[in-house]
Amino acid sequence: MTIHREGYLIILISTLILGAIQVGNYFLYAWLGWLWLFLLLTLGVLVMLYLVIQFFRIPKRTVTFEENDILCPADGKVVVIEEITETEYFNDRRIQISIFMSPLNVHANYNPISGIVKYVKYHKGLFLVAWHPKSSTDNERSTVVTEHSSGKEVLYRQIAGAVARRICFYVKDKQKVTTGEEFGFIKFGSRIDVILPLDAKIDVKIGDKVKGRITKLGELN
């Protein structure tokens, strides 16, 4: 396991703040002599530091896939599988799979297919809870479209939530990408939508817990 680069500064600042709190806790104990309070606050400091560090963890995973496989772009839970009218890029009917990431999930995001990036756009927006129906269109978000070697295109969208306040993405237009490579990161709770052709084979169902780079969402036909 490694720590994502997006977490270095936040972990440093958190360590300094929590360290200062612990110093204050020590002086409070020296003044009051309440061992139970000292131990309780110390435990709270350690738990907070652990939660911050684990949020930015990147587990080591072996990526295996076939040419037409659609791999899951994020850890989380499948909360939506439905047919929609996609209006930002395709302007036609598509299948949407939405994955909700809690603050306890790994928050790195990965390319679901290999191909050439055809479209990248960042949108400012609101911070509705990630499972809100309008979060896909109204929240802060980024949209990436990759064209597979078969000519099929897949859209994937990072969506900020009520807690997530920063979306990071690293791909550029016309860039060649590979299934399972990291393309972005969302800080502190969020959602990612994958928009597929109507004839795509779907291998997951609502309620499934999925893992980025490991779980197979389906296949392009």
Mean pLDDT of the chain, nearest integer: 91
CATH 2.70.70.10, applies to 69-219: yes
Give the pLDDT confidence of 57-85 residue by residue, as tens digits: 998 998 999 999 999 999 999 999 999 99
Rounded to two decimals, the pTM is 0.86
CA dist 86 and 203 (Å) reads 21
Phi, psi of 215, rounded to the nearest 5 degrees: -70, 135
Mean pLDDT of the 191-205 span: 96
Give the pLDDT confidence of 132-182 residue by residue, as tens digits: 555 566 678 899 999 999 999 999 999 886 655 578 899 999 999 999 999
Residue boundaries of the structural domains of the chain: 2-58, 69-219
Residue 39 has pLDDT above 60, yes or no: yes
State the catalytic residue, choosing from 98, 135, 142, 190: 190
190 in active site: yes
